[in-house]
Each structure stands twice: as structure tokens, then as C-alpha cells.
Amino acid sequence: MTPLSASDILVRPTWARLKHCEIRGQWVLLVPEQVLYPCPTTVEVLERLAEPTRYGAVIDALADEYDAPVDVIEADLSPLVMGLVEQGYVRRVDA
């Protein structure tokens, strides 16, 4: 699979629903026949990908929000987002 670039447009498929479970007090990702319990970082990313969004914009927004260098955010996010893409929970949108 090709690496992510800042210009890639990513989106969470409509069948992958991110919901906060009041009973468990945590976020869950509901996908067909599965319930996943994403970490807080993954929740941040999945929330931002409800609509098609440029990967670079996600990195920039998180770097700004957490007052962190863009290259540090990108280094942290790249394996996480690539894993989500490989598993199908996030997909690339053809421009």
C-alpha cells in the first residue's frame, strides 16, 4: 500500500459509526459485526474524518490544537492512520 501524503483525502465510511457509549463511558467504533474501542488519539482522528478531509489538514489542525510541531504530529499519526486505511476503517477518496 502506498504511503499517505498530505494531499490525500481521507474519510471514515458511513458504515463505521463513532459513538460515545454512556454505559461504558468511552468511545466505540461500530462496524459490521464488530465493536472496537479506539484510543483517544484514534477518536480524535476518526471524528475529523466524518467528512472527506485532506490528511494534511488533520495534521495541521492537531499540531495547532496541541501546540506541537507538524513533523512530530505526522510521525505519530502516520502509522495509526495507515493502519486504519489498511483495515478499511478509513478510506482514501479519489480526487
Question: What average pLDDT does the segment 3-23 reach?
Answer: 95
Of all residues in the chain, what percent carry a pLDDT higher than 90?
94
What pLDDT is stored for residue 1 in this prediction? 77
What pLDDT is stored for residue 48 in this prediction? 96
Question: With 90 as the cut, is the pLDDT of residue 94 above it?
Answer: no
Give the 3-state secondary structure of residue 56: helix
pLDDT in tens, 21-57: 999 999 999 999 999 999 999 999 999 999 999 999 9
Q: Which three cell numbers stand for residue 59?
A: 495534521
CA angle 93, 94, 95 (to 5 degrees): 110
